[in-house]
Structure 1
Amino acid sequence: MRIRQRIVPLAAALALTGGLAATEAAPALAAHPASGQTAAAAAAGGTYLYFDKNQSSPSNSVLYLKKSVANGRDKVLAKYRAGSGNGGRNGRNECASMQGWLPNGSYRVLAHTTHHNGGARGVNGYAIQVQDKVCRNGRTKRTELFVHSEMRPDGTQGARQPGRDNPYRWDGNNDYFSLGCIKLTPAHIKNLFAKAAHYGWPKKLTVVS
């Protein structure tokens, strides 16, 4: 699902007020393991992403970076407010492509980059790509799934545009809406990248509700 999400007519080509385009070409994402990951961090249990969907307020969901701990409760390394889904009637429908939030389950983290280029309707800047997922109806496959924000491809913020949304800028709470991907503020996704580089890049995302 290409991602730039917001609800206006949104879309990975649809448009949430600032949605994402679903089919624009983008440079290849860096494959794992990341260059900043140390052997010690990779060996010490491993990290993973954990997305807890908020049924009453999807744009107030939570994304965690956690570390597996043997014989104990996994350690929370970081916690961020996050959103998934366009906030509309189908925003909680995991089988509604380009509208609903991510299906529950486990995903492989495929790659990450700080310079994704998806164009005005796509995912730009800091982005973590996860695998496609077939939803609970057993037929609909959700594709082009990312953890991302709203920024230029180089990770900077676009100019404020009074009276309208800028797809290259985080303009406020409505930017938590998406075509299904997980969205964080620019500051939070940059912090997530820094934490992942320090503790070891996660290879898995778990989504629950």
Structure 2
Amino acid sequence: MTATRHTAPAQTGAPRPRAASAAAPEVIARLEAADDLDLATDFLAATPTHEGRDRALLRAWARAAEDFGSAVPSTPSRARVIDRDGGLELGLLARYTSRPTPTVELYTDTLALAEELIERRGWRHWYPEGSVRAAALAHEAVHEQLHHGPPKAALKRSLGHVVLRIGRHRVLGHVAGAEEIAAHAHARTVCGLGRSPLLLTAALASYGREN
């Protein structure tokens, strides 16, 4: 995705909550027990274009993306911020769009559900009060940098995914999902979170409100 030919928004995924089921707590417990790098590797493994790739390679890419995101300096965002409802319908927590005006949409209903999940699971020591919103803004700020500045090429160099060699020259390819992992790692670092927001967004896929 680029600033000049932007066709799809960058978005902080919060998968659509399903109806509460007996299996949901078990799934969330397994996610909680996994470390952030394992979750990032699983995220890449489930991303289209990575089917059949060696897990060791995916783990190396996940680690590189995490290291890159953690080191990205926090810079002021140019985007306007809009709070709105409807995130649960879309399966989104936040979304960045570059045109016509750089904008971050924060979905208050999904934020509220994330806070509910944090309280129920006893994760407040990982995600302090107000940190989910702050992390979403930090996450989308990285997507903004990757749209408008040199960090996009720097991330490619960090990943080192060679798709073509011509003599001593090499062409580096895009690694689908790496920008999302980098954005999560950045948010964890700048917001001082105990766990990556990737745990929270993955857990929301198995979490639903009880009737």
TM-score above 0.5, yes or no: no
TM-score normalised by L of structure 2: 0.28
Q: Which structure shows the bigger proportion of residues in strand conformation? A: 1
Task: Give the number of the structure whose residues are more often helix, by fraction.
Answer: 2
Larger Rg computed on CA atoms: 2
